[in-house]
Chains A and B, each alone.
Chain A
Amino acid sequence: MAQRDGTTRRMSFGQATVDAMRSAMREDDRVVVLGEDISWGGNFGQFRGLLDEFGPDRVIDMPISEAIIMAVGVGAAVTGLRPVASMSFVEFTLGAMDEIVNQAAKFRYMFGGQVSVPLVLRASDGVLRSSAGQHSSSLEGLFTHLPGLKVVAPSNPADARGLLRAAIADDDPVVYLENKRITAKRGPVPAGDHVVPLGSAAVRRTGADLTIVTYSVMTLHAEKACARLAEMGIDAELIELRSLVPLDLDTVLSSVVRTGRVVVAHEAWEFGGFGAEVVAAITGQAFDRLRAAPVRVGAAQAPIPFSPPLERAVVPGEDEIVAAAREVMGLC
């Protein structure tokens, strides 16, 4: 599967997550996996091969009963295991919202710190080729709103591996969001046991004119948008958050105070989305350094439609980022 050239290996995002799972499970026998269809590798191959290596005591096929997947995860996590729970589509987590919101996120605090909940919830999100209303959402805003949950959303195989490894090693519940459109995308992953700490953003491109803050699949659109903006003579700095909670605001602010202009982009709905939090934090802490009102890019306020032209109309991409960048530059 992976090709090796000594310092990096080339693999898909999905393969990178399997690689992280394998390292974590080899290192620590408290790590177990709970999910639907995982004996068969999972919906997107995110668990392929784990059953063969680790057996059914550690790779546990769960019924399509999301509440029990999460509740068993919580019960196992507070009694000595480090479960990774899988829900395939992020919309399915809604069937486990009590367990996520009222149990996993609150146990440590509500019980006065006597217990930790080392649990990772993996879920695939985002738009992929007309998956329609119930299989296309980006729901990170639901999770980032909740004290007690950490939330990460990588966009490339290296971070996919590094962040999953860090999430499993973390003692708190972590929601690990993997966008469906990038699961098959390939890229280099550093050799060895590559780890990316939670709460560290990455500067993908340095630039002087404006700062684009984004994460997950939108990073790929933003990279293309930056290239187009460069052709127009606009020098954009691109920051990929990678981790939404904890949020690396320092990296964002240190860029914004230089550029004075900000675009925040995500595939989730713009209204009430995580971008609003980022913009509010920037406005609150660097207001006097801003040279233009920040602009958000997100999905229009409608369920994701099925028909391809409608889907394109609701979901933002490269064009919308370019337009937003021109707007903060005062060019339109």
Chain B
Amino acid sequence: MSLTETMSPGLALGIHQAMVRIRLFESRVEELFKAGELPGFVHTYIGQEAIAAGVCAALNRDDYITSTHRGHGHAIAKGMELGPIMAELYGKATGACRGRGGSMHVADFSVGMLGANGIVAGGLGIAAGAALSARYRGTGQVAVGFFGDGGINKGTFHEALNFAATHRLGVVFVCENNQYAQFTSRLRTTSVEDLSVRAAAYGIPGVTVDGNDPAATYRQTLEAVARAREGVGPTLLNMETYRFGGHYVGDAEVYRASAEVQARREEDPILRWERTLTDEGLMTAGAGDAVWAEAGEEVSAAVSFAEESPYPEGGTALENVFTRVR
């Protein structure tokens, strides 16, 4: 099937641009963290860009996503500006969450990004709740719950699928199967090799997708979103990918061979997508370079914005614990 049968040239290029923005943002985050510029710790999305970019391309601006501890890519793909995300990672007052949340709690409810979530599979039930709410309010919005191959073994995964399936809620459960749950290969901890078969237990479709091919992640999400919007019910998408970096930046990665990582890095999803776009005649080499250059400038601007922004005043630390005290 030719690519243009699946998506318009503009969309294909838009997905490329989103992937490049995520890659350069995350590469810079890695550098900044290693240089000691960022407090806390960070989990980067490098290698998984085809999922966030493809999935979010199939969503409307007011659709919802719930994210994971590895959430910067989702935030960018869903339409958050880079400056407030970067400022949040710095703990600055201009951050998306005013410096209260940091890397693992980046959120922007105005674009339907209901939060990165530091609890594995913590967002799945929340996505189901958002879908229930959307149906009750009659808005037609759908919700995507991102999680990983670690999350698929949490009770909340099973509780969320059962509930969403029972009520035919408009949720798409997107498993970003990057092969490692923290440090441990999923093959050592999970009863099934093809994670999509778990959908059968809840009577919903489960599809394994090449998570490094944006055409596939987009197309499968589009189908699942159509089911979700029409009230047919949820879908489980098992998107196979690979985490180029460690669990977090600074992870010594004693649990996997560098040759394995190197081999997977050679199948870089962005380079692969660029080859596709070039082969299809949708992008010239020069145009590709311009995308990288533009995204690089945007990331630099985000870093400058973050660096120049003030830290929150200590006196504001107790704001927003409650909406109102009494």
Binding site for B on A (CB under 8 A): 32, 57-58, 60, 62-63, 65, 67-68, 70-81, 83, 98-99, 102-103, 107-116, 147-148, 150, 170-172, 197-199, 246
Return 25 A-B CB contacts under 8 Å, by A number: A58-B136, A67-B155, A68-B159, A72-B126, A72-B129, A74-B129, A75-B125, A76-B136, A79-B64, A79-B130, A79-B134, A102-B119, A103-B119, A108-B321, A110-B107, A111-B100, A111-B115, A112-B96, A113-B320, A171-B324, A172-B323, A197-B326, A198-B326, A199-B325, A199-B326
How close is B91's CB to chain A, nearest CB, in angstroms? 11
List B227-271 residues whose CB lies under 8 Å from chain A. none
CB proximity of B215 to chain A, nearest CB, Å? 30
Q: Measured between alpha carbons, how far is A76 from B126 in the docked complex, in Å?
A: 7
**In the complex, A65→B163 CA distance in Å?**
9
Distance between Cα atoms of A111 and B96 in the complex (Å): 8
Say whether, besides A75-B128, A199-B325, A65 and B159 are in contact (CB < 8 Å): yes
* Smallest CB gap from A95: residue in B: B155
Residue of B with least CB distance to A150: B322
Determine if B320 and A80 form an interchain contact, defined as CB atoms under 8 angstroms apart: no
Contact of A80 among B125, B133, B163 (CB under 8 A): B133
Query: Which chain B residues numbered 153 to 173 have a C-beta less than 8 Å away from chain A?
Result: 155-156, 159-160, 162-163, 166
The answer to whether residues A75 and B96 also contact, given A63-B166, A67-B159, A114-B109 and a CB cut-off of 8 A, is no
Assess whether B28 is interfacial by the CB under 8 Å rule: no
- Which of B118, B155, B163: most chain A CB closer than 10 A? B163
Interface size on B, residues (CB 8 A): 49
Which residues B59-99 have CB closer than 8 A to chain A?
64, 66, 95-99
In the complex, which residues of chain B have a beta carbon less than 8 angstroms from the beta carbon of A79? 64, 114, 129-130, 133-134, 137
Chain A residues, Cβ within 8 Å of B21? none
- Within the complex, what minimum Cβ distance (angstroms) separates B82 from chain A? 17
A100 smallest CB distance to B (angstroms): 12
What chain A residues lie within 8 Å of B134 (beta carbons)?
79
Taking a contact as CB atoms under 8 Å apart, the answer to whether B129 and A67 are in contact is no
A110 touches B105 (CB 8 A): yes
Is B279 in contact with chain A by the CB < 8 A criterion? no
Q: Is B101 an interface residue (CB 8 A)?
A: yes
| Besides A63-B159, A77-B129, A110-B101, 18 new A-B residue pairs in contact (Cβ under 8 A), listed by A number | A32-B136, A63-B166, A71-B126, A71-B128, A72-B129, A74-B126, A75-B126, A75-B127, A76-B132, A78-B114, A110-B100, A110-B105, A110-B115, A113-B319, A114-B97, A115-B109, A148-B321, A172-B324
Task: Quote the shortest CB–CB distance from A199 to chain B (angstroms).
Answer: 4
